[in-house]
Structure 1
């Protein structure tokens, strides 16, 4: 494949793999071979959550088929805590909204063969001024383990004195603590792309946020959002789907099994996008190997949004064994109009994913020459092409792929298999 990958990035990934192979402790990592899938409370409910909401959603993951499709984590974001620690210094659940505590909720979720996630912060306080874990990392990690927690989302708000330490140091401390907790706990960093975590977070986490927070908008950002990955104002901000995709142009080559750049939660089903926009959203999160964490209320989600989340072919691209993210192909793209991305799937030279996104007006025809995607030795072969969202085969392709009448904000998601 003739993808524009940085040799430096490749060497960096090889170095990390070598360190792991020769005995690096990997801190809190549990070696996440594939991007995690699940559901999180924050996008829809913010901190207004309770035990009944969590348990009803967990049951709905099962009844809708989402759990069977791979969405296994039920992540309780900010809002589960009391505002003070208990007499022994431990974080504690709000006894009014979570009468059974987190351990009781975890038991309910585990009986459904699902896993439970929880939220804390690398600062003294979290974003809502509940107690953060700074200075209590070992105690908190052991507490989570005793409750049966399987996943920790670890935020970066409320640093104050804690911010005298680098992000790397604060997040590493919790990684060590999780490692020593006596339980395998998936470690998901939520540091908003601060200090360019694709250079360091894979050494001790299972996933890391590569940007500020997503907002429920396809194209319109909130004020002050930076369009690139390499900027300093990547903090708490409202990043649109299109801008999140734009940022990944620079860093998709860092994706590798073991730690995933997280483009934030899915806004599919939150009611702000067209069906084509939701398909585009899911296409890129899957092909770029971002975690697939649902942010909608799945107890009321529309049939069309649920169908997108359940699309088996799209999920298979996300969970492909190779763990290689698609790359942006500037020579085949037109800035502000058409984006072409492509990447190999686990069968190497015989199977590929191609994305063609129309950013402009509806009714566009897009032609993709295979010589702009494949290396010369792979040209001349015959490929079967499948359109993932239309759920149909496009026949045999030998040179060019022409896609007709592509709507505005629609992405054609294709899988090519060599005959």
Structure 2
């Protein structure tokens, strides 16, 4: 199985949810449950303040690439208006080089495919006002068996700089084991070496890392995957963390299934994302066989997740309908929002997902995703997605696909099979500030659940299949608490195994929680982690407790709303 990916991830450390107080007369300022990662990668600062956008040939063409393809794509990105809308990086993937290095040890461009060479192509792309990207691999050979960079990192970085490269995609096939190192340590060291090599060239090149994917694909124990996600942002700006998108040669049904699969593994990783640090669930594939509704879904979901928008399709053949989807300026604006907060799950109920994403100007983006095979009416409210309202508060709601605007507190649409409705909600001047609101999920995908929606002090909080009920929706008001149905998530004690309950909010340290970049939710009274007792992460009704924090344990790794 071909495994390729691209890169980046996050900072580490404990981030408190206790927020700076605001005057009583002012609407509270939105504060995330965890702050965006603040990391300067070794290869340079502020190289990707918003998610990269552009084109890569792999999913559509694999090794059927040549100079004419990239010239035509560059021309079409400009003439179609996609470049003006942000799609400005053209990346040549695997198969651009010959099967061996030259006598000096340098990579050699395949002249039958690229008769003018890579420097000429980069100059052509730059002449169109675009940026140029190139592929290499960190191992001993690329995923298709061509020369990779193991032992040649600085030479290859220097060569790319001489070409005029702006973006490097570094795959992770065939990385050899090193004596005395784990696989994770070996990947860490080679990606760190590449980042420094790029810095040494003096040319600013965005670094797309594929390391995380090699600890996800086919791996049941994901502890090292999370560890890789913690260090990748130290070295690059984005990273592929899982499986590839389905190739154009696959059936339309298979392509759709890969969109949903990649969405599912990317969605819980919001804590790793932020400016210059982007989770990358792989390419956009409109025009490859999927339906227009499916293409709108992918565009919506990727934009809600602050994902890179990298087309891998025949750009020259995109018709007006496809161009309107990938070029929708309102949807692109959500993806490119400068706050950089990745959207998260408000609720999941069977085939229905409701997502929310905080935007820099105080607006909130909302998506209603129907993964089912028939149309469905999906509804939510502004309060449900984290907008609590207030005296005289009004909301303007814009449907980003139809362009229609309305006002009120209801957000609703009849969503076709495999479709997604997407909205931008703008609070009025008197509205209270947004609060992170949604489901708290463990690695199995199950939810924290207030048993039988009870509000009696001491009601057990357990793990349960997500169903979208109010008793699974928690709000983080910025004071360190997590609240549902008006009461607080509480540790009944400080010893290992102390139960988790719902109780009246008192300001006690047993009700104060902080969220770490590794997914731990830590109780202030004991400095211990929210834990699924006995590791029963797939069992409905599994009891929750506080327990000494372990190393990236699956039963202590949580995804929280933003």
Contact 2:368 2:422 in 1 (8 A): yes
For residue 248 of structure 1, report the CA deviation from its aligned partner. 2.5
Query: Structure 2 matches for 1:132-281, cutoff 5 A?
Result: 132-161=148-177, 166-191=186-211, 193=213, 194=215, 195-196=225-226, 197-216=228-247, 240-271=258-289, 273-281=290-298
Work out whether 1:416 is the aligned partner of 2:433. Answer: no
Aligned match of 1:103: 119
Aligned match of 1:292: 309
Work out whether 1:319 is the aligned partner of 2:319. Answer: no
Task: Mark the CA change 1:44 to 1:15 in structure 2 (over 3 Å): closer, same or farther.
Answer: closer
For residue 370 of structure 1, report the CA deviation from its aligned partner. 2.3
**Using the alignment, how far apart are the partners of 1:361 and 1:120 within structure 2?**
39
Q: Deviations over 1:239-276 (max 9, x none)?
A: 711111211332123211111010101111212x1111
Query: Structure 2 matches for 1:331-410, cutoff 5 A?
Result: 333-335=348-350, 337-348=351-362, 351-374=363-386, 376=388, 381-393=393-405, 395-397=406-408, 399-403=409-413, 405-410=414-419
Alignment coverage as a number of residue pairs: 383
For residue 166 of structure 1, report the CA deviation from its aligned partner. 2.1
3-state SS of 1:144 partner = helix
Contact 2:56 2:310 in 1 (8 A): yes
**Using the alignment, how far apart are the partners of 2:267 and 2:318 within structure 1?**
31
**Using the alignment, how far apart are the partners of 1:9 and 1:274 within structure 2?**
43
Q: Deviations over 1:203-259 (max 9, x none)?
A: 11110012111115799669xxxxxxxxxxxxxxx9711111211332123211111
Task: Mark the CA change 1:212 to 1:323 in structure 2 (over 3 Å): closer, same or farther.
Answer: same
For residue 380 of structure 1, report the CA deviation from its aligned partner. 6.3
Which segment is superposed worse, 244-253 or 304-313? 244-253
Which segment is superposed worse, 356-365 or 260-269? 356-365
**If the length of structure 2 is used for normalisation, what is the TM-score?**
0.64
Contact 1:205 1:259 in 2 (8 A): yes
Task: Mark the CA change 1:190 to 1:297 in structure 2 (over 3 Å): closer, same or farther.
Answer: same
**Using the alignment, how far apart are the partners of 1:188 and 1:240 within structure 2?**
21
**Using the alignment, how far apart are the partners of 2:276 and 2:376 within structure 1?**
39
**If the length of structure 1 is used for normalisation, what is the TM-score?**
0.86
3-state SS of 2:201 partner = coil
3-state SS of 1:386 partner = strand
Structure 1 stretches of 4+ moved >4 Å: 7-16, 161-165, 216-222, 377-380
Task: Mark the CA change 1:379 to 1:199 in structure 2 (over 3 Å): closer, same or farther.
Answer: farther
Aligned match of 1:88: 104
Aligned match of 2:346: 329
Contact 1:30 1:186 in 2 (8 A): no
Q: Deviations over 1:350-378 (max 9, x none)?
A: x1100001122434222202222225465
Query: Structure 2 matches for 1:295-314, cutoff 5 A?
Result: 295-314=312-331
